[in-house]
């Protein structure tokens, strides 16, 4: 069992008001929140500062991808906001620039390997010469060489990534669904317990909680599922 809370709730909303309502409803059930492109564009850095000031941890999922100097300077800004995690694309130039921009701050950098909504056919359509598995491993090798703290990866890749990267790389898995929950547009899902058993350190959970009639109940059920599965081994 993890000695940290592995659950990160994705605040995929178009206004800070909706996000605040969910956070209120969840209360002590969640302490780590992901702010992605939609909410960050709507609510801006002040909302991130507000979350951090209220004692929540923030995962800023902005998937930076730009020329090195821009990535470096934008990463410096994120480190000043007090966010705990930031995503960047897994391109070597971007990873090196973000690493330079983070300097000695506590911000952890997570490289995006392959979006969990993509499969081999999608990569082929986009012109890639390799499938998801090979691309994920290449990005992880480059991330390790660059000193990146972790990667975003589908739970289905967690076992082989753990084997490749060792215990220190932070593995964050979106695309997590309890059995019976709707997968939405995710193509490579696993249950929360399967993802943790496979080696994920953190689970990003969105719609299963944010669209639930009782979000706090949904998180509590996920925690129960994890406890049951991991103690039944």
**Residues with a known catalytic role:** 63
Asked if residues 140 and 118 have their Cβ atoms less than 8 Å apart, the reply is no
What is the secondary structure of 60-80 as a DSSP string? EEEEE-S-HHHHHHHHHHHHH
Question: Closest CB to ligand C5P belongs to which residue?
Answer: 206
Nearer to ligand C5P, 199 or 206 (CB): 206
Distance CA 71, CA 65 (A): 7
Contact residues: ligand C5P, CB under 6 A: 10, 12, 36, 61, 112, 115-116, 152, 174-175, 184, 186, 204-208
Distance CA 92, CA 145 (A): 9
Nearer to ligand C5P, 82 or 184 (CB): 184
Nearest approach in angstroms of CB 43 to ligand C5P is: 15
Nearer to ligand C5P, 84 or 100 (CB): 84
Asked if residues 199 and 159 have their Cβ atoms less than 8 Å apart, the reply is yes
Nearest approach in angstroms of CB 155 to ligand C5P is: 11
Nearest approach in angstroms of CB 175 to ligand C5P is: 5
Chain centroid to CA 213: 24
């Amino acid at each position: 069992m993890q000695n940290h809370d592995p659950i990160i709730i994705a605040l995929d909303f178009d206004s800070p008001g909706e996000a605040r309502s969910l956070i209120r409803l969840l209360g002590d059930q969640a302490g780590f929140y992901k702010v992605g492109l939609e909410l960050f564009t709507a609510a801006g850095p002040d909302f991130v500062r507000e979350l951090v000031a209220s004692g929540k941890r923030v995962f800023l999922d902005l998937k930076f991808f730009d020329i090195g100097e821009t990535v470096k300077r934008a990463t410096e800004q994120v480190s000043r906001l007090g966010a705990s995690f930031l995503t960047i694309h897994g391109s070597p130039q971007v990873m090196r620039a973000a690493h330079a921009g983070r300097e000695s701050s506590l911000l952890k950098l997570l490289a995006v390997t392959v979006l969990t909504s993509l499969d081999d056919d999608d990569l082929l359509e986009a012109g890639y010469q390799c499938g998801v598995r090979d691309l994920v491993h290449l990005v992880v090798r480059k991330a390790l060489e660059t000193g990146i703290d972790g990667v975003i990866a589908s739970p289905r890749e967690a076992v082989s990534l753990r084997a490749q990267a060792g215990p220190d790389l932070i593995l964050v898995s979106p695309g997590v669904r309890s059995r019976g929950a709707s997968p939405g547009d995710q193509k490579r899902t696993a249950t929360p317990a399967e993802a943790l058993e496979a080696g994920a350190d953190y689970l990003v959970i969105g719609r299963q909680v944010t669209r639930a009639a009782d979000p706090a109940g949904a998180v509590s059920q996920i925690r129960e599922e994890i406890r049951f599965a991991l103690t039944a081994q």
